[in-house]
């Protein structure tokens, strides 16, 4: 389960009070991107790239169902059974279940942005690996740059995927 936390939510009526996006209907990601702005398209694209990159590293079965990260984004990201969640303007990380799944994709909390992480992780011990990434291995929390191409490039997406894999052991 990959739980991603960010400080804002899509500026659409049905999401103004939403806390979590995790069971979108087919086509909803495209609708959100079309009706809002480029900002949300980038978030969804980077999230899909991350999951796809992680699947490539771990040889996850989702590669058998999706031929590209774009296909994964359009067919599975943030939908029922995808093991992905987007937590919107969350006040704190809440553990709902500490048990690991048998999935090659480990339960992990990814917090977008250093400033936001300071708000929701106050008092949580983090090991800063460099200026972009911090980790708490015990709680399986990773702080990373915001899901934007300039801040979280493909190389940094690869680094983030490798950090997620490192939490499996």
Report pLDDT digits (tens) over 82-93: 999 999 987 667
Please write the tens of the pLDDT for every residue from 117-138. Answer: 999 998 899 999 999 999 999 9
Domain ranges for the chain, please list them: 2-166
Write the CB contacts of 40 (distance below 8 Å, at least 6 apart in sequence): 10, 32, 33
**Is 138 exposed, middle or buried (CB count within 10 Å of its CB: 0-12, 13-18, 19+)?**
exposed
Q: Which residue is associated with the tokens 């999706």?
A: 66
**pLDDT band per the 50, 70, 90 thresholds, residue 168:** confident
Closest CA to 159 of 124, 139, 134: 134
């Amino acid at each position: 389960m990959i739980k991603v936390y960010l400080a804002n939510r899509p500026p659409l009526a049905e999401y103004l009070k939403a806390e979590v996006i995790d069971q979108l209907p087919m086509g909803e990601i495209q609708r959100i991107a079309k009706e809002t702005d480029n900002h949300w398209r980038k978030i969804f694209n980077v999230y899909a790239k991350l999951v796809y990159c992680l699947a490539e590293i771990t040889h996850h079965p989702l590669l058998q169902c999706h031929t590209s990260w774009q296909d994964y984004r359009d067919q599975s990201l943030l939908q029922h059974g995808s093991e992905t969640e987007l937590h919107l303007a969350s006040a704190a990380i809440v553990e709902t279940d500490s048990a690991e799944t048998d999935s090659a994709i480990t339960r992990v909390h990814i917090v977008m942005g250093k400033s936001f992480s300071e708000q929701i992780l106050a008092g949580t011990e983090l090991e800063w690996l460099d200026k972009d990434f911090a980790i708490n291995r015990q709680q399986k929390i990773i702080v990373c740059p915001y899901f934007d191409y300039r801040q979280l490039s493909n190389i940094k997406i690869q680094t983030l995927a490798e950090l997620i894999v490192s939490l499996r052991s």
